[in-house]
Structure 1
Amino acid sequence: MVNTKNQLVSPSSEKPTEVDQKSKRVFPIVGIGASAGGLEAFEDFFRHCDPDIGLAFVLVPHLDPSHVSMLTEILQRSTKMPVIEAQDQTKVEANRVYIIPPNREMAIIHGKLQLSVPTVSHGQRMPIDGFLRSLAEDQNENAIGIILSGTGSDGTLGLRAVYGAGGNCFVQEPATAKYDGMPTSAIKAGYVTKVLPVANMPEALQAGANSFNILSEINTETKKTHGVSHILMQLRTITGHDFSLYKQSTVIRRIERRMLKHDITDIEIYARYLKEFPAEAHILFKELLINVTSFFRDTEAFLVLENDVLPQLCLNKSDEDNFRVWVPGCASGEEAYSIAILLSELMDKTQQNFKVQIYASDLDDDAIATARAGLYPINISQDLTPERLRRFFTKEITGYKVKKEIRDMVVFAIQNVIKDPPFTKLDLLSCRNLMIYLGAELQNRLMPTFHYALKPNGVLMVSPSEGIGSFTSLFSPISRKWKIYRAIHNLSSPTSRFNIPTKVPTTNDSKTPEKAIKQPMENSLAEISRRLLMQYFAPASVFTDLKGNILYVHGDTGKYLRPAQGQASLNVIEMAREGMEIQLRAAIHSASIENKPTLNHEMQVKTNGGFTTVSLSVRQVNYGSADKQAFLLVSFQDVVTPSNQTKRKVSSKPEELKRLEELENDLLYLKENHQVLIEEQQATNEELKSANEELQSTNEEMQSSNEELETSKEELQSINEELITVNSELQTKMDQLSEMQSDMKNLLESTDIGIVFLDEHLMIRSFTREAVRIYRLVPSDIGRPLSDIRSISDQADNLIEAAKNVLDSLIPFETELHVLNNWILVRIQPYRTTDNFINGVVLTFTDITARIKSATTQEALDLAEGIVNTVREPLIVLDAKMNVISINTAFETSFQVSREDAIGRKIYQLGNFQWDIPALRKLLEELLITSDSIDDYVVHHDFPGIGHKTIRIKARRLVTKMIETQLILLSFEIN
């Protein structure tokens, strides 16, 4: 029977939980776990990830619980997707990144993140396993698990859950990981879809998401027609197991995962690939088995089993009774061992000692081999209490091993529950998370089988997502929430006539009704005869193990055995009466070691003050069929002396009588010495036993100390991982701050603005190089009061008082200073920290000389323009380079020159160079060099198109008050 132990399946497991409202599609949720070295892996992952990939990402790194995480801020630089620190009840949306906060455990239920305070000690936390298991439970086939760089094994069980739920699992290539512990652990466990470098994972996720969206729109029957049925036929041919009656959605999802493994997108191509490579069929068969389970899965269900169900089932169990349990589809055995632990605890609590027989079966031989070994990874500590770990498990290097006392309770077997006969006369049948993957036909076949296997009032336990279907007449509910039922047996039950399949061949011979009635009667007479013969003719006997410990007593053995003095014992040698110990010990040794029987050995045994001749027989017998176990059958029988036997008269000489007396005395002495030696040997054995117990106690103490050291080591390792993560975050932050500092330095230096930072006491914090234009500052002045520094201008001395006023009133101050022919704009503002705290003042010095000159020049131009426009005579304004700045209307009219052609040109170039007059050049050069004005300078010149003109010129050189900007004003009087 295919095992479908899907990890953490909830009642709503077959329903989609996350729907994109725009596309109305279910989108996968990706859980990413990392530890040491994970920051670099996260950044590399999201640098290569498309922001519109259509997936949601939840990051679970190992964080220091006492340190504020900067991971959100750091990762936001690597992706355009919003990076959010998760909060309780946050609804997961596509194309977003969520990060677990420090000192929190996180799960996901119905698509919402659930945060809680950790309940386990720091070093034993497995946050990645916890989240991935909840993700598998909540999202099932839409879950994706990724394990990146880190130490330890956190995440391995989480991937096991995701893989069992039908999701995909990706692991970073160990060679590319900074720390390969977590990736290597996951790969060795075997629950991995692909092993890739981090940079290649987004592409693989994108391909998987596209395949998911396409396949989710195709009808299941269409898929089946196009290849699924072909694949199932090949599986049946190659492996001998038929999956056609299993839920097609589950089968298809597992097939798709194998297709993704081989980068195959067409199901028909995969069908041909399966035919060409039969080994792939066996791998697919293993995938369909889904060997995933855990200890005490669904804790509340096991609490009901522990507190309500098992105490009632075991209430009247005697030491000779058997408690029978069957766990079909047991996977790797965790559920069977969980029930064994509960029964062991119950027997200790109630002081009962009944026999427990737990049969755990599965179709997967590898899973059965794992279950028989009973060795599980370290991570199971999150499913078991520390007390149960200590009591029922042994800590080993690779994990925890179930102790022999629990392993002996469980028998594991390979079985197909659909075809093979069931185990019967059961007190408890636990079949959890198996039938949800079976079709309705198989479920209807299993329920009557389970009912037949249970005793009257036996208990059936299934998972919360399963039920008994329409078979309500066969079972009555004990717990409807956790799907625990009691079997109802009566004559009207269908299983009273139920035929259980069997592999024993049958014949076509039919018995007559008379033979059918006669056969039970013959069996009864044979049983009565056997018992009577045993009672009246069989010798008194005991059934023992190879060491002589009595297991069963037949007949009256009081004449041969009696309770020994001291601590109660059931060892037949210690209970033997006087005269029998030596020969009995030798006979048992011969039978157990050499397999040599002792038959009818006569000896004198002291009974009731006299001696009786007893015949002793000791044989070795074997019981069982598979691994035959050896036992001893010890029989006692009196030897009867005929009453008519004539006693021989012994006539002995006195010397012979004396010799016989001496021999008898010697024999008695030897017997006494031998008895003393036996007692001394027994005392020595007791001392050795006591010493062995003390050594065992010391060993347990050393083991306990070793476990404490291992726990301390795990805690230190966890702290070290968190410190590495914090160190990576701080290193990244330092790199960012260094870049920001370089950027700020270049920014301040490129602005040519002098800046002085002062603290609340007006002490110099720092300054830019442009600040030395106002204050004579050197690097060693940092930390000194600004008032101690001499300024270049006396006007700057008042800035100290202004800075004090700004610090007191928080009102910015602004002024202009004229320093060394330069104009400086001074601003004083409060220094505010990022949390709006006033921590000093900032003085900035901006050179505004160019702005002042520009303003002054514009002022002069405006003045000249006004003058020019109000004068009636022709007028022109030139700069020092003889370029025309302005002309008036009279000049345009008189000399036929347009304003557009004149502005910006030299005066000598106006009107096709008609103003290139030597006398005018001489006038202007003289004006610039020797005087500020020239009056009535007469020029005679022939102007083309105007004629000969006599012009009287007046010239003035203008200088502004603020800056020496020279302008020349020319007026013309035409005669």
Structure 2
Amino acid sequence: MAETTTRNHDEDTTAAPVVPTQTMDETSATIDPTEPAGLLPAPATPMPADTADATEEMSTGGPRPDGAAPPAFPIVGIGASAGGLAAFETFFSAIPRDVETGMAFVLVQHLAPDHKSILTELVKRYTRMRVQEVQDGMQVEPDCAYIIPPSHDMALLNGTLRLLEPTAPRGLRLPIDFFFRSLAQDQHERAICVVLSGTGSDGTLGARAIKGEGGLVIAQAPATAAYDGMPRSLIASGQADYVLPPAEMPAHLIAYAARAYAKPAGPVAPSAEPGTNSLAKICVLLRDRIHHDFSEYKETTLLRRIERRMALHRIDRHEDYVGYLRRDPTELDALFGDLLIGVTGFFRDPEAFAALEHEAIPDLFARKTPDAAIRIWVCGCSTGEEAYSIAILLCERMDILKQNFKVQIFATDIDPRAIERARTGLYPASIAADVPAARLARFFSEDEQGGYRIRKTVRDLLVFSEQNLVQDPPFSKMDLISCRNLLIYLNAGLQARLITLFHTALNPDGVLFLGTSETTGELPTLFTPLNRKWKIYTRQERPRGTLLRTGMPGDWLPARLQTRRAPNEPPTSPDPQQGKLDLRALTEQALLRHCAAAGILVNGRGDILHIYGRTGMYLEPAAGDAAMNILAMARDGLQRDLTTALHRAVTHREPVRRPGVRVKTNGDFQSIDLTVRPETGLGEGSLLSDVYLVVIEAAKPAAAPTTTAPTARGTGNADDENPRIAELEIELRAKEEYLQSTLEEMETSNEELKSTNEEMQSVNEEIQSTNEELETSKEELQSVNEELATVNAELQTKVADLSRANNDMNNLLAGTGVATLFVDHQLRITRFTPTATRLIKLIQSDVGRPVGDIVSNLVDYTDLTEDLRAVLSDLMLREHEVQTRQGGWFLMRMGPYRTLENVIEGAVITFVDISDRKRSEDEVRAAGVFAEAIVDAVREPMLVLDGDLRVFSANRAFYRHFRLEEADTRHRHLFALSHGRWDIPALRDLLRTIQTRGGSFEDFALEQDFPEIGPRSLRLNARRIDSGADRPGMILLALEDVTTAPPPPRGRRAD
């Protein structure tokens, strides 16, 4: 297990994206019998309540405010820029119309701030889902689509969309990243993001946040994108789970959601839990390929990440996934990437950094002099945000003190790609949300790539290096160690070992800075809380000469030299009561066994653990920072032999003896015998399980020879050879000194080369700084270009719609034959139809001219201009029947021209040809005159009654016979004439009957005393006259006077 469980993935990684497209049917796999089955440890001792309760919260971004529950459905964020409109159309058209997806879709596109977007109307055409533009506070619902409005940033909080005024400059806005980050924080593993066509890299960092929370990331296949910048950036970052054309995305989304989210949120039933054997096999496969052991990773997080990968590949059983891993080792790399949970940022938990700034950092400087170094170790630094945050706090403190201190910040991580990005110090513009404006301006500079680059004054304080926190040697003599949000992903046993390691690496009163959900666990005696809420601790000093058992493998040796625990061996639990060892007693016991005059107990790196006897003749303090390291303290003549002997003892685990080593003491050389021996029996299972005893004793005098040794010349004895041997030894030492001098000169040259390289880097940074303004302008222009491309795509769609509508209208007007003329407020002609030229002499060049200046073809109508002004004034319709010089008749209608927004923008004049109607009216009028002439020629009285039985007309015989006036008779009710003498019920019934049913009646006898003519006997004949299907029929009523006496003369009533 390594510290990158808390890191973010690199943005610039070149790992190939995972594009799973195959459904696994049966992938039964077997594991070799030799492979360990019980790799996963039993559930570890739980962490303290304040840590354990928050563990899962931290792994998913923290608890929700006010206890609000997340929506029980996934939310899909879709980001696009230039060329995104076509991708939206394809994406939504591919969603089956008869399927409820159960997902909400939120569309974020780069929009021009001063342009009204029509994206909502366009998307509605392609889907049956409810599509609406977002308003602040809108609750997200499944099977709905939401569109971001222009000139806003958008965030998601507890399933509610919030609109924010953008704070970043127009060219540096990243609305897609902004929304994706909030989506990840709010929805965690239910967050899904899709990156479609667009230029630049907006969406990549937000996708990394979603991937870190266990969500799904999809990128559009670059070949199908109009602009492939955004999809390519996401693919290059290694975050994409699928790379697909938009038409294939909905099917994969629906299939993934069916497996990943269709599971109960509560505890899984025991029968449904994956077997420990499957998890153990997965961990073995990871260890064999990645060389990292995940057996001490928290099982719940491990399962969640594994099941996410299973859903991507549509695999239902853990055993099948094991088989898939064995057949496709690249999936192991992808799983490893998923297990490296990425959650980081500048000044993450601002209140925690404020507590560090005010409560811990001042004491660090108070204990140091300006020439002393302040050493800080940031474990699991990921891409460097938190390490740079601490460096900024130190710079601000030095400014307050107005003193410069030597600051060394060692930032380590297991991922070389993350370390490389941290070294560049380049971060996206979205960090402006985390870094206050004053700090942003002071410690960062705008980069040509559109983000911010850490300034050199801060960068020079940090050293980034690749390190496995568990396996590699730790740093020592630290004043501050920051290890935030790493321990929560490890089980309790490994947590305790790391806490003990931090205690060993810290100076007395050193500070340990943990995450908000972490504590020192079951080792509270090692640290005292400085700020309990924000988990800042101060190191407690142990009694001198004691060391705690940690269960760490080896003694911080290189990984290849450590004694690894067997895969099925449970981790050693720390036991403080058994872990204290008396180093003095152990050293004395070892020396007694070897009868040594002086002895030094060291670890594999040469750090001195205990000294026995007088060693001043062999060791002396080294210049510079104080360091209790035997290799640094060895006197001239001893260092080389001691280094090689210790290295051989560590490497081969065997005693090494170097007799006759000459050590320079008090200006003269003294011969000693050097022995380095591994002492493996001093404390099994503790930090002393691998230590080394260095024994230094005076060289023993050479024994007198008993035989004569042959010489090269075959003559002489041993006494003759001794001077020669001494001479050769002197010559050898001279050569060794020359070699040492040469090595020192080479080291000096290397230092000079390093200095030259740093100067070149400084020059390069200055050149880059010179290009910043140009690159910033380029980025702004690129952003404006993207917005223009988006607007252009919308306008092209709108132009197509308008063209289609214009064609429809032209064909409609041409088909109806209605002459139409459009004028504006100034009565200037704006448009006319071809048929209008028959009435008003118009040509195409007349558009824009006042309508009153055009010669009309109308007869006796000169009020066109006045009528149009009246229409624009009172907005009332006006009609006139007008005649052309050729004799044609037209109904001219004038009315206001209204837009869709009900705005009056002129007037419209239509001419409907009514020539046929006018001819018909003339014919009807002539026929009526002709009929009236015939009726008037008849001698008997006759009446024509309308549908209400009123007198429509009467002939002259009727008026003459009954002595009535036409003005008093026409349009009056029949039954009201002659003072009601015609109001006879039987007659009324007969007339109503023939009016409704048709037909006629004859010889209806009527005797009545009429006031004007006296008593008369009449015979009535009636017949209905049908005038058309839509008009009530009329009745022709003929009267015959059968009275014997003639009526009295006019003016005299008969008796």
The equivalences for 1:650-665 within 5 A come to none
1:61 corresponding residue in structure 2: 109
CA contact (8 A) 2:8 2:341 kept: no
Q: Which moved more, 1:812-821 or 1:432-441?
A: 812-821
Unaligned runs of 5+ in 1: 545-550, 556-595, 602-615, 633-684, 871-897, 904-953, 962-966
Instruction: Give how far 1:313 is off.
Output: 1.9
Q: Secondary structure at the match of 2:771?
A: helix
CA contact (8 A) 1:152 1:182 kept: yes
Greater relative contact order (CA < 8 Å, ≥ 6 in sequence): 2
2:90 corresponding residue in structure 1: 44
Instruction: Give how far 1:792 is off.
Output: 5.3
1:758 aligns to 2:758 (yes or no)? no
Unaligned runs of 5+ in 2: 10-56, 556-561, 564-577, 592-597, 601-609, 626-631, 637-729, 932-942, 952-993, 1000-1020, 1029-1033, 1041-1055
Q: Secondary structure at the match of 1:160?
A: helix
Give me the whole-angstrom Cα distance separating, in 2, the residues matched to 1:711 and 1:218.
50
2:216 corresponding residue in structure 1: 168
**Which of 402, 405, 409 is matched with 1:353 structurally?**
405
CA contact (8 A) 2:103 2:143 kept: yes
2:194 corresponding residue in structure 1: 146
CA contact (8 A) 1:292 1:332 kept: no
Give me the whole-angstrom Cα distance separating, in 1, the residues matched to 2:772 and 2:902.
52
* Amino acid in the other structure paired with 2:308: R
CA contact (8 A) 2:60 2:213 kept: no
Instruction: Give how far 1:30 is off.
Output: 1.8
Give me the whole-angstrom Cα distance separating, in 2, the residues matched to 1:74 and 1:782.
33
Give me the whole-angstrom Cα distance separating, in 2, the residues matched to 1:357 and 1:442.
25
Instruction: Give how far 1:175 is off.
Output: 0.8
**Which of 64, 73, 80 is matched with 1:34 structurally?**
80
Residues 191, 487 of structure 1: alpha-carbon distance in 2 compared, 3 angstrom cutoff: same
Instruction: Give how far 1:427 is off.
Output: 2.6
2:908 corresponding residue in structure 1: 842
1:485 corresponding residue in structure 2: 536
Render the CA deviation track for 1:219-273: whole Å, top value 9, x for unaligned: 5355863467514433235516554654445333322332244343444432332
Give me the whole-angstrom Cα distance separating, in 2, the residues matched to 1:105 and 1:429.
37
2:171 corresponding residue in structure 1: 123
1:81 aligns to 2:147 (yes or no)? no
Q: Which moved more, 1:231-240 or 1:846-855?
A: 846-855
1:289 aligns to 2:340 (yes or no)? yes
Q: Secondary structure at the match of 2:367?
A: coil
Instruction: Give how far 1:284 is off.
Output: 1.8
**Which of 308, 323, 334 is matched with 1:272 structurally?**
323
Residues 702, 200 of structure 1: alpha-carbon distance in 2 compared, 3 angstrom cutoff: same
Residues 528, 443 of structure 1: alpha-carbon distance in 2 compared, 3 angstrom cutoff: closer
* Amino acid in the other structure paired with 1:144: I
Residues 758, 70 of structure 1: alpha-carbon distance in 2 compared, 3 angstrom cutoff: same
Instruction: Give how far 1:166 is off.
Output: 0.8
Instruction: Give how far 1:18 is off.
Output: 13
Give me the whole-angstrom Cα distance separating, in 2, the residues matched to 1:864 and 1:770.
44
CA contact (8 A) 1:27 1:142 kept: yes
1:463 corresponding residue in structure 2: 515
**Which of 479, 482, 489 is matched with 1:430 structurally?**
482
Render the CA deviation track for 1:746-805: whole Å, top value 9, x for unaligned: 333444444332222333332334545654544444334444455555465455433332
Instruction: Give how far 1:4 is off.
Output: 2.4
CA contact (8 A) 2:281 2:322 kept: no
Instruction: Give how far 1:12 is off.
Output: 7.3
Residues 513, 226 of structure 1: alpha-carbon distance in 2 compared, 3 angstrom cutoff: closer
Q: Which moved more, 1:325-334 or 1:339-348?
A: 339-348
Give me the whole-angstrom Cα distance separating, in 2, the residues matched to 1:851 and 1:206.
65
Instruction: Give how far 1:170 is off.
Output: 0.5
Give me the whole-angstrom Cα distance separating, in 2, the residues matched to 1:553 and 1:206.
69
Q: Secondary structure at the match of 2:405?
A: coil
Residues 692, 32 of structure 1: alpha-carbon distance in 2 compared, 3 angstrom cutoff: closer
Residues 324, 235 of structure 1: alpha-carbon distance in 2 compared, 3 angstrom cutoff: same
2:5 corresponding residue in structure 1: 4
Instruction: Give how far 1:180 is off.
Output: 1.4
Instruction: Give how far 1:88 is off.
Output: 3.8
Aligned length: 770
Residues 722, 290 of structure 1: alpha-carbon distance in 2 compared, 3 angstrom cutoff: same
Give me the whole-angstrom Cα distance separating, in 2, the residues matched to 1:82 and 1:325.
55
Give me the whole-angstrom Cα distance separating, in 1, the residues matched to 2:852 and 2:91.
55
CA contact (8 A) 1:755 1:771 kept: yes
1:950 corresponding residue in structure 2: none
Instruction: Give how far 1:149 is off.
Output: 1.4
Residues 101, 16 of structure 1: alpha-carbon distance in 2 compared, 3 angstrom cutoff: same
Residues 696, 172 of structure 1: alpha-carbon distance in 2 compared, 3 angstrom cutoff: closer
CA contact (8 A) 2:897 2:906 kept: yes
Q: Secondary structure at the match of 1:26?
A: coil
Give me the whole-angstrom Cα distance separating, in 2, the residues matched to 1:513 and 1:260.
55
Give me the whole-angstrom Cα distance separating, in 1, the residues matched to 2:252 and 2:1026.
77
Render the CA deviation track for 1:83-108: whole Å, top value 9, x for unaligned: 43334444333333333333433333
Q: Secondary structure at the match of 1:283?
A: helix
**Which of 106, 110, 113 is matched with 2:158 structurally?**
110
Give me the whole-angstrom Cα distance separating, in 2, the residues matched to 1:471 and 1:621.
50
Instruction: Give how far 1:867 is off.
Output: 13
Give me the whole-angstrom Cα distance separating, in 1, the residues matched to 2:766 and 2:409.
32
Residues 518, 530 of structure 1: alpha-carbon distance in 2 compared, 3 angstrom cutoff: closer
Give me the whole-angstrom Cα distance separating, in 1, the residues matched to 2:388 and 2:80.
31
Instruction: Give how far 1:168 is off.
Output: 0.8
1:668 corresponding residue in structure 2: none
Render the CA deviation track for 1:109-137: whole Å, top value 9, x for unaligned: 33333443443333333332232223222
2:366 corresponding residue in structure 1: 315
Instruction: Give how far 1:455 is off.
Output: 4.4
**Which of 789, 805, 808 is matched with 1:740 structurally?**
805
* Amino acid in the other structure paired with 1:318: T
The equivalences for 1:525-564 within 5 A come to 529-531=614-616
1:713 aligns to 2:778 (yes or no)? yes
Residues 233, 125 of structure 1: alpha-carbon distance in 2 compared, 3 angstrom cutoff: same
Render the CA deviation track for 1:205-229: whole Å, top value 9, x for unaligned: 1222222332346853558634675
CA contact (8 A) 2:599 2:612 kept: yes
1:331 corresponding residue in structure 2: 382
Give me the whole-angstrom Cα distance separating, in 1, the residues matched to 2:151 and 2:948.
81
Residues 827, 289 of structure 1: alpha-carbon distance in 2 compared, 3 angstrom cutoff: same
Give me the whole-angstrom Cα distance separating, in 2, the residues matched to 1:822 and 1:228.
98
* Amino acid in the other structure paired with 2:6: K
Q: Secondary structure at the match of 2:906?
A: strand
Render the CA deviation track for 1:586-618: whole Å, top value 9, x for unaligned: xxxxxxxxxx999999xxxxxxxxxxxxxx999
CA contact (8 A) 1:318 1:352 kept: no
1:874 corresponding residue in structure 2: none
CA contact (8 A) 2:346 2:431 kept: no
Give me the whole-angstrom Cα distance separating, in 2, the residues matched to 1:455 and 1:163.
38
Q: Which moved more, 1:112-121 or 1:56-65?
A: 112-121
Superposed CA RMSD: 6.0
Residues 404, 313 of structure 1: alpha-carbon distance in 2 compared, 3 angstrom cutoff: closer
Render the CA deviation track for 1:301-324: whole Å, top value 9, x for unaligned: 445544553233232223664534
Give me the whole-angstrom Cα distance separating, in 1, the residues matched to 2:612 and 2:458.
36
1:212 corresponding residue in structure 2: 260
2:938 corresponding residue in structure 1: none
Render the CA deviation track for 1:887-927: whole Å, top value 9, x for unaligned: xxxxxxxxxxx999999xxxxxxxxxxxxxxxxxxxxxxxx
Residues 866, 709 of structure 1: alpha-carbon distance in 2 compared, 3 angstrom cutoff: closer
**Which of 883, 897, 906 is matched with 1:831 structurally?**
897
Instruction: Give how far 1:171 is off.
Output: 0.5
Residues 867, 693 of structure 1: alpha-carbon distance in 2 compared, 3 angstrom cutoff: closer
Give me the whole-angstrom Cα distance separating, in 2, the residues matched to 1:490 and 1:761.
94
The equivalences for 1:434-833 within 5 A come to 434-438=486-490, 450=502, 453-464=505-516, 466=518, 478=530, 483-487=534-538, 489=540, 497-504=548-555, 515-516=585-586, 518=588, 529-531=614-616, 619-620=740-741, 630=747, 701-771=766-836, 775-789=840-854, 794=859, 796-798=861-863, 800-814=865-879, 825-833=891-899
TM-score, with length taken from structure 2: 0.60
